[in-house]
Structure 1
């Protein structure tokens, strides 16, 4: 087959037929839900604040800077562990989202100016 015109542009007709038979668009909504869950876990500035705290602690320990955060909370290593664990969770969830969305790339029109045969 060739390309077919849709309300959102030309797509590869064979890929469209295949996706219509096997792709569940609910995966996209689930990706939105996963993203919302990530945002809720970190609050508006949660991860950013955690990274800044980690930087302040490391700057004190490694560079000899004055204290910028209280010393009665997490240790430097515990703070690093928390940030790394959070980032690993983000990466895992983002990878799942990419896997869910990647099949939509198969719809790329063969006549698309940006089409690259090496994809």
Structure 2
């Protein structure tokens, strides 16, 4: 295959030659490793002790008590609206993180070979 071909075959597929050269000059692959670390951190926040899962269960108990007249779910350090606001705020922060990660990964999509 000559260098005039618009694509190049690699062990990971047929890639757009121009996009590959551009990324070779500008893309820092360690950004993907940072995403891995940040993802691990986020997962810890989600499933760790007093993480999102625990707080969502507490929020459910509070909502179930006041909305469905269920039995008292136990004392809480915050009100139902405060806890709901805290959780939605953390979720919005996570969405912002995810959007940043997407932006870090999207340049690799440009490698798709075009006919």
Q: Is this a same-fold pair by TM over 0.5?
A: yes
Q: 2-side partners of 1:63 and 1:110: how far apart?
A: 56
In the TM superposition, what is the alpha-carbon distance from 1:109 to its structure 2 partner? 1.7
- Superposed CA RMSD in Å reads 1.7
In the TM superposition, what is the alpha-carbon distance from 1:41 to its structure 2 partner? 2.7
In the TM superposition, what is the alpha-carbon distance from 1:38 to its structure 2 partner? 1.1
Q: Which of these residues, 56, 61, 69, is aligned with residue 64 of structure 1?
A: 69
TM-score when normalising by structure 1: 0.82
TM-score when normalising by structure 2: 0.85
Q: Where in structure 1 do 4 or more consecutive aligned residues deviate above 4 Å?
A: none
Question: What does residue range 1-119 of structure 1 map to in structure 2 within 5 Å?
Answer: 1-44=5-48, 46-68=51-73, 70-111=74-115
- Segments of 5+ residues of structure 2 without an aligned counterpart are none
- Segments of 5+ residues of structure 1 without an aligned counterpart are 112-119
Count, aligned residues:
110
Q: 2-side partners of 1:39 and 1:58: how far apart?
A: 25
